[in-house]
Chain A
Amino acid sequence: MRGLPALLALLLATGVLAQESPPPEPDGYRTGALRAPTPATLAGAEVLDMAGLEAAVAGGAVLIDVGPAPVKPADLPPDRVWLPVHRSIPGAAWMPGAGLGDDLPPERAALFVSQVEALMGGDRARPVVVFCQPDCWGSWNAGRRLVQAGFAGVAWFPDGVDAWQREHPTAPVDPMPGWGSPPP
């Protein structure tokens, strides 16, 4: 009997039980570890499931992937083959690192917004879908950033490329021109 509360406490601490209910939305951007369970909602944005994403893609929504770029190990010897590739939903614009929280420098945040606006032909009311991977706050932050900037058709696809590739082909993408390589 005595062991039961201790076991429960351990399960809660390790997140085994905590996974049952998603965390609430924070007041601002998520600044802690980006790979962690995400909220069920994003204020000002629609949350899409797979069917919702398929409809958005068919409807010509702008697709924004903020998944991270692999970081080349600093101490990888030069004779090791290093050729990263990023696969995404075909047609998506990839801006790795755009999902950082308050630690994204203001000029990068402004660049992200203007890049998305350019993709939408200047019309901030057009539908736009942000995504990365499951349990990735990057896309939540990026969606919030667009909502804050006054975009009206923001949607968030929390299941990310992992879910998409289970049912649809992916395509290799380069970082969006003008966004540049992510900071190391």
Chain B
Amino acid sequence: MPKRLILAACLVALAAPAFAAGNMEPDRVSRWEDLTYLIFGDDARIAPTESLVTLAAPARAEDAALVPVTIATAEGAGVTGLSLVVDENPGPLAARLRFGPAGDPRELGLRVRVDGYTNLHAVATLADGSMVANAVFVKGSGGCSAPIGLSDVEAMADMGEMRMKFAAGGPEGSGRATLMVRHPNFNGMQMNQVSRLYTPARYVTEVEVSRGGELVFAMESDISLATNPVIDFLYRTGDARPFTVSVADSSGARWSQEFPAPESAVTN
């Protein structure tokens, strides 16, 4: 137990710059309260935390249509799920993840759209069903209506194509991986500047990563996730079985692909 406390203290020290509990202006706090009921249900009770969940994001977004967010959860906190909410976005929920036995909730990276200066909330569900949240404030605007910069047809080319990268240096017992999915993730709020018509919404709704039938994570995603979703995640090492990724979008399209485990290259 003392060991864990020391670890937590170190995490606090490391994460200090991005550690504020978000912007506490009264109207931002009341919006978060409204959102908790809408997203997590009327009975949702979400306790603030500054130790179990931390977020890092640029204080000022260079590109509001593509804001990288990293979420960390404390080891031993018993996190079973994580949600990311972009408070001020019209469609505020970016993603909701459930972790399986082959996964590790200690680190997660996503990229979101930010429509205006906003708190980002990361909500962790713990093993006993309770929920805790932390927040960070991000300055950026216009990310939801920003045109993708390609024609709709170009943006949809190679839709569903995936790549997976593995990196060394994960926390003990886990490896780091990055999944990239080509998908425009049209949110229905982007106007084609030539036709002046809104490009119909078409976005990734589910991403599931597993190994030999064991779940790493299952993600439900929504329109606040950026174009070409990129997910940084951890997986439990010591398993040579390949990863299976399946992706579904709001138009009912499904893609699935297998990726060999990095262990298989090392051990065999």
Query: B-contacting residues of A (Cβ < 8 Å)?
Result: 33, 35, 68, 70-77, 80-85, 87, 133, 161-162, 165-166, 169-172
Contacts and interface: CB of A to CB of B under 8 A. Distances in A.
B117 interface: yes
Contacts of B222: 80-81
Nearest to A171: B27
B250 A77 contact: yes
B193 A70 contact: no
B38 interface: yes
Interface string B238-268: 0000000000001000000000000000000
Contacts of A166: 139
Contacts of B141: 133, 161-162, 165
Interface of B: 25, 27, 31, 34-35, 38-39, 88, 90-93, 115-117, 139, 141-142, 144-145, 187-189, 191, 193, 196, 198, 200-201, 222-223, 250
Contact of B38 (A68, A73, A81, A133): A81
Contact of A73 (B93, B142, B188): B188
A16 to B, nearest CB: 13
| Residue among A83, A170, A171 with the highest chain B CB neighbour number at 10 A | A83
Contacts of B139: 165-166
Contacts of A85: 31, 88, 90
A171 B91 CA distance: 19
A72 B187 CA distance: 9
B223 A73 contact: yes
Nearest to B38: A81
Contacts of B187: 73
A73 B222 CA distance: 12
Closest 3 CB pairs of A and B: A73-B188, A84-B90, A73-B201
Contacts of A77: 250
B250 A172 contact: no
A73 B189 CA distance: 6
A171 B34 CA distance: 16
A71 B200 contact: no
A5 B26 CA distance: 56
B117 A76 contact: no
Given A71-B189, A76-B188, 10 more contacts: A70-B115, A70-B144, A73-B200, A73-B223, A74-B201, A80-B222, A80-B223, A85-B88, A162-B141, A169-B25
A146 to B, nearest CB: 25
Given A80-B223, A87-B117, A169-B25, A75 B200 contact: yes
B109 to A, nearest CB: 23
Contact of B91 (A81, A87, A161, A172): A81
A166 B117 CA distance: 9
Contacts of A72: 90, 188
Nearest to B60: A166
A81 B27 contact: no
